[in-house]
Amino acid sequence: MGDVSLTVPVIKGVLEANPDLHITLVTREFFAPFFHNIPRLDLVFPQFNGRHKGFLGIFRLYADLQKNGPHDAIVDLHGVLRTRIISFLFNRAGVPKFAIEKGRKEKKFILKSSYIRILKHTTTRYLETFSSAGFSGSIGKAPYLNTQEQAIIDSRQYLDVEGISPDKLRIGLAPFATHVPKMWGVANFKELIALINGEFDVHFFLFGGGSQEIGQLKELKQFSSNIHLVAGEMKLPQELALMSSLDLMITMDSSNMHLASLSGVPTVSIWGGTHPAFGFYALGQPTEYSLQTPASSLKCRPCSVFGNKPCIYPTPRCMEMVKPDDVFNKLKKFSLLNRKQNKTTLSSSKE
């Protein structure tokens, strides 16, 4: 989800710089809300559980895409087996193909050495791929995601039902990630919530996905009366609309980190087994907003690019070294708990 969401500012920038260009984007239907109301962008949704399932399904997908042509170029921003095969088939039919350079050697060097160097952001690699195809562009300023009007209405109703006061700070919390080495833990979030509640008047909103995560978030909701559950209560368009009204998001290295930053929300991310140096940090956010145990303080960090390598300790030590007090003090240092932004999109006051 994070990789797909990061294509949005790139696609918008390339289309704006090339007014005669039309782009057909092949992606999962679930991600369609990311690309709402972008002119000259057509979406194609593969049926990976049906017509386009398996190896033969790749050839069917290629045939279906051919019907949407003719195409002047194939731009592969994913660089996996399926997209390589489709690109190869188009290339054999005379369509030039251009694939992303993921910087695997650079990332592998960081993992094997103690030298941390900030690599290109993923959006820069996307832009370079389009540029190699002859379509230059640049990334503007956030917010990048266009919110659906009905989603805004639905989110307003949610705020009214929850009794959300428009004059209180709104903080989103996303405690989960795909892999354990990237998760700080619900217990730490409880302690952080208690610290913030002790000094500030706040509404907290819980984001996440999957039945297991939602179950834990429901338990976390009971911890304080000013915590509101979003996960499982809304569909993706409504979540994006609500997220755009936040004053702050506190998250892991996860898709919610990207969605919040793309929505123009100040985003503080907590890092464990992975590292912002690999180029997946929250777009447009100050480097100080990425909170982490310094690699120099723990030789095993970072342990992997995506956080999918099992930790050598019973629990991720890199996350244990990040204390709720440390996060709370950083939030105050950056004045993120004092800054009430003017968010007029989702006012909870009834007209």
* Burial profile 252-281: b = 16 or more Cβ within 10 angstroms, e = fewer: bbbbbbbbbbbbbbbbbbbbbbbbbbbbbb
State the average pLDDT over residues 268-290. 95
Residue 348 has pLDDT above 60, yes or no: no
* Sheet containing 267-271: order of strands: 227-229, 202-206, 169-174, 248-252, 267-271, 290-292
81 is written with which tokens?
A: 């087996």
Asked if residue 350 is part of any domain, the answer here is: no
Report how far residue 321's alpha carbon sits from residue 315's, in angstroms, rounded to the nearest whole number. Answer: 11
State the average pLDDT over residues 265-284. 96
Percentage above 70 pLDDT, the chain: 96
Domain count, the chain: 2
**Phi, psi for residue 171 in degrees, rounded to 5:** -120, 125
State the average pLDDT over residues 216-242. 95
Last residue of a domain, one of 70, 100, 132: 132
What is the structure's pLDDT at 296?
Answer: 86
Residue 343 has pLDDT above 60, yes or no: no
Report how far residue 66's alpha carbon sits from residue 63's, in angstroms, rounded to the nearest whole number. Answer: 5
Shared domain check, 125 and 161: no
Shared domain check, 279 and 166: yes
Residue 298 has pLDDT above 70, yes or no: yes
Asked if residue 345 is part of any domain, the answer here is: no
Shared domain check, 121 and 225: no
The domain that holds 238 is classified in CATH as 3.40.50.2000
CA angle 46, 62, 280 (to 5 degrees): 60
What is the structure's pLDDT at 113?
Answer: 87
Shared domain check, 95 and 176: no
What are the angstrom distances between the C-alpha of 4 and each of 1, 12, 33, 126, 306?
A: 5, 13, 11, 11, 15
pLDDT, tens digit, 9 for 90 and up, residues 34-71: 999 999 999 999 999 999 999 999 999 999 999 988 99
Last residue of a domain, one of 132, 166, 199: 132
The neighbour count for residue 81, using CB atoms within 10 Å, is 10
pLDDT, tens digit, 9 for 90 and up, residues 119-155: 999 999 999 999 999 999 999 999 999 999 999 999 9
Shared domain check, 181 and 211: yes
Give bridge partners of residue 97 from the DSSP assignment: 74
171 is written with which tokens?
A: 């903080």
State the average pLDDT over residues 108-113. 91
Asked if residue 191 is part of any domain, the answer here is: yes
Torsion of the alpha carbons at 102, 108, 114 and 118, rounded to the nearest 10:
0
Shared domain check, 326 and 195: yes
Last residue of a domain, one of 132, 166, 200: 132
What are the angstrom distances between the C-alpha of 28 and each of 38, 93, 147, 251, 286?
A: 17, 25, 19, 24, 31
State the average pLDDT over residues 223-246. 95
- Hunting for tokens 């609309």 — which residue is that? 241
Asked if residue 215 is part of any domain, the answer here is: yes
Shared domain check, 88 and 224: no
112 is written with which tokens?
A: 């094997």
Report how far residue 334's alpha carbon sits from residue 107's, in angstroms, rounded to the nearest whole number. Answer: 30
Beta-sheet pairing, 169-174 with 248-252:
parallel
Residue 166 has pLDDT above 90, yes or no: no
Asked if residue 140 is part of any domain, the answer here is: no
Beta-sheet pairing, 23-26 with 41-44:
parallel
Shared domain check, 310 and 193: yes
Residue 185 has pLDDT above 60, yes or no: yes
Domain of residue 72, residue span: 2-132
State the average pLDDT over residues 17-40. 97
Predicted model pTM? 0.93
DSSP state of 33: G
Report how far residue 8's alpha carbon sits from residue 30's, in angstroms, rounded to the nearest whole number. Answer: 15
Shared domain check, 212 and 63: no
Shared domain check, 101 and 196: no
Shared domain check, 86 and 160: no
Shared domain check, 158 and 247: yes
**Spatial contact of 98 and 133, defined as CB atoms under 8 Å apart:** yes
